[in-house]
Amino acid sequence: MSEDVGFAFELETDSLSDSLGKFLPRRSLYIVTGKIGAGKSLIAQRIAYGLVSNNVRTTVVTTELTTRGWLEQVNSLGYSLEDAANQGDFTLLSRFGVISDEVEEDVTIDDLLASDALMNAEISIVDRASMLLHQLEESPDQLLSRLRTFCSEERSLMLLIDPDEISPEMMRILSASAEVVIEMKTSEIGGGLSRILAVTRFLRAAGPVQPRIGWRVEPSMGFIVDITAVS
C-alpha cells in the first residue's frame, strides 16, 4: 500500500526521492516537459520502476516503443519490470504491438483515460502525451477538465510533453494547473552534456525539493544524481 502522504518511489540505488519531495502527491496531475533527447523517457522509467518497487499500482503508456522494446530498454538500465508485468503488478501499453505492428487506428487521450489499465492504476504515465494532444479540436480548458475528473478519483496522471508538439496556450494551462511540473534540460559544458531536472512546481511535498537536480544515466546502474552538474 502507498503511504497516505503520497506515492513512494524511493530506490536504494539513488537519492532521487530525497531530492524530489520524498513522495508523489495523490490525486494529482504531473507534467514533465522537454524536447527530444532531454531525458523525459528516462526519468519516467526511473519513476515507474521506483513506484512498482514500492508496491504502487502503475501503468505506463508508450507512444514511441513496442512493449518488448520498452522492457528491453529499462532492463538495460537495471530496472527490470518484466516479472512485475507478468504478475500483473505493472501494466505496459503501447500504440504499437509487441514487436512492431502499428494499430490501425490512432489511440486518443480519451481512449486511454477510459481504459481499464489507467482506471485501475494508482499512477499512470503517458510517454509522450503530446503526440496524442496536438490534434485535439477541443479547447485546453475542456481537456484540463477531463484530466482533473480522472485524477479526482484516487488516481494520478503523469504526462510527458514535448512543448514543440502542442500549442503554447495548452502548455501554459496544463503547467499552471498541475501539482507537479518538471522540465528536463540539457546543456553543453566543457565539451560534455549536462542534464538538469528543473522543478518548476511541487505542491504538497512531504520532503525537501531541490529546484535543480543534476543527473546522468549509467548502463546497468540507471539514474544517478550528479551533484557536479549543478553549480
Alpha-helical (H) ranges within 3-139 are 16-19, 40-53, 67-76, 82-86, 109-114, 116-119, 130-133
Segment 202-219 shows an average pLDDT of 94
Contact 164, 35 (CB under 8 A): yes
CA distance 174 to 177: 5
Contact 135, 70 (CB under 8 A): no
Residue 161 bridge partners (DSSP): 33
CA distance 25 to 98: 32
Express each pLDDT in 80-106 by its tens digit: 999 999 999 999 999 776 544 444 457
Express each pLDDT in 112-156 by its tens digit: 999 999 999 999 999 989 988 877 878 899 999 999 999 998 999
Alpha-helical (H) ranges within 77-212 are 82-86, 109-114, 116-119, 130-133, 140-151, 168-177
pLDDT at 3: 47
Q: Which three cell numbers stand for residue 115?
A: 481504459
Q: What is the CATH number of domain 7-229?
A: 3.40.50.300
pLDDT higher than threshold 60 for residue 210? yes
Q: Is 123 helix (H, G, I), strand (E, B) or coil?
A: strand
Residue 230 pLDDT class (50, 70, 90 cuts)? low
Would you list the domain boundaries of the chain?
7-229
CA distances from 132 to 3, 17, 32, 146 (A): 32, 29, 15, 14
Residue 194 pLDDT class (50, 70, 90 cuts)? confident
Contact 128, 160 (CB under 8 A): yes
User: Helix crossing, 40-53 with 67-76: angle to 10°?
Assistant: 80
Q: Which three cell numbers stand for residue 226?
A: 550528479
pLDDT at 98: 57
Contact 156, 147 (CB under 8 A): no
pLDDT at 8: 97
Contact 30, 157 (CB under 8 A): yes
The residue type at 129 = A
pLDDT higher than threshold 70 for residue 212? yes
Which range among 14-23, 85-94, 183-192 shows the weakest confidence by mean pLDDT? 183-192
Q: Beta strand 90-94 with 58-62: parallel, antiparallel or unpaired?
A: parallel
Q: What Rg do the C-alpha atoms of the chain give, in angstroms?
A: 17
pLDDT at 103: 45
Q: Beta strand 192-202 with 180-189: parallel, antiparallel or unpaired?
A: antiparallel
CA distance 114 to 218: 36
